[in-house]
Chain A
Amino acid sequence: MIHAGGIDLANRMKRGAVPEHVVTLGQIPDLCGIQEIGGRIEIGAATRHWEIENDPMLRCRLPMVAGYIAGLGNIRIRMQGTIGGNIMAGEPGYEMLPLLAVLGADLVFADWSTGGQEITAAREWVLPRASSSKTLLLTSIRIPLRPITVAWNRELRPALGLVASLEWSGDRVLHGAAAVIGDHRGPMVREHHFTEALPAADAAPRAANIAEVWADKFPDIDVLVGPDRDYCRHVLSVMLRRVLHTMLKT
């Protein structure tokens, strides 16, 4: 079992887990740090949340990522926990994987059993695989630099949350991606293509309509809010409307 910041590992051992071996990543330099390489940002899997949120380059190139991480847990957790641990813990309420999914990020793994490398899109990474994988070491996260805005709604955390992105061409929205936080299978990304490239000024009043259509693309979310699926879908459409509003205003 890998120990990065050790938060989830410690909690699991208190609940009775007895890992045979523990391998601590400590602060292995190759797994820590943030760099801009070509058209992307690469974050080492053992980088602590606090280091990411305060990295001057990241704050400049991806300020919304720094802002998102600053709202994660609390200062003690962010100073100890790592981005890799958040992803690999495989907990539905944890928020990094959904963010990375809407940013179009990739997860880079080293496979101990084969000695090879595996690169998987964050949006395709399913949670049961995270918690059961014994031979994959997450080494880094690659986030492409694109003209993108991101917004999120955490009001019902950890039962349900939403993070979404819009990709722009000049002042026009081309494409959106939204991910549910809290689904037991993974981030559940659904896209929305804007058939007419909307000028931002017209799009804001239409956020509610777009949100309704977009929410229908999540017919099978499996989250722990409300009495039934219709209610979950309603809450999701409210969250979508609010995050759309935020993104179209900015």
Chain B
Amino acid sequence: MTTRDRLTIRLTVNGEAHTVEISSNLMLVDLVRERLNLQGTRVACDQGACGACTVLVDGRPITACLSFAFTADGAAVLTIEGVAGSDNTLDTVQLAFHDSGVPQCGFCTPGMVLLAKAYYMQQPMPEGADVERWLDANICRCSGYQVFRRALHSTPPREDAP
């Protein structure tokens, strides 16, 4: 394709099917924020370092500011708006974050919740050093790391945990 091409992609975002026409150089973060108006996904560094723009694509935590929107064709995208249930009940990870005490400004929190959720989906039982390594990926400018770690450590084992 050329970078001037327009493409039509089909994807689900937070469980809802979308067919959108995009330019081939549109970033996933701009699709989510500007086209679908889901502004809980943040942009800070815009170069992959901070993780404020983290969304899950087919369950993987992805840097939406460095992913072209066309790569989400056929995928299931989860943004912070889709983490709670449709009746607004908090998901297990959100509850753990809530109970651990929300850190200061909250700018990084959507990305942190999604990163933690991806971990929780991979690992039925949150484990020591593994949690730390995983959460290292995202930056909190208010340095609320302890709270995030505490939250993930206190997330109950998944029901299917051995």
Contacts and interface: CB of A to CB of B under 8 A. Distances in A.
Nearest to B70: A24
Given A74-B51, A76-B48, 17 more contacts: A6-B67, A6-B68, A6-B71, A7-B48, A10-B65, A10-B68, A19-B3, A21-B1, A22-B2, A22-B24, A24-B1, A24-B70, A75-B61, A75-B137, A76-B63, A80-B62, A80-B67
Contacts of A190: none
A80 B66 contact: yes
B3 A75 contact: no
Across chains A and B, which 10 residue pairs bring their CB atoms closest together, nearest first?
A74-B137, A10-B66, A75-B137, A79-B60, A76-B63, A7-B66, A76-B137, A76-B61, A6-B68, A21-B2
Contacts, number: 66
Interface residues of A, number: 21
Interface of B: 1-3, 24-25, 27, 46-48, 51, 54, 60-63, 65-68, 70-71, 115, 133-134, 136-138
Please report whether the interface of chain B is mostly helix, strand, loop or mixed according to DSSP.
Answer: mixed
B134 A20 contact: no
Contacts of B67: 6, 10, 80
Contacts of A19: 3
A134 to B, nearest CB: 16
A11 interface: yes
14 contacts: A3-B68, A6-B66, A6-B71, A7-B48, A18-B3, A21-B1, A24-B71, A70-B133, A74-B136, A75-B61, A76-B48, A76-B62, A80-B60, A80-B63
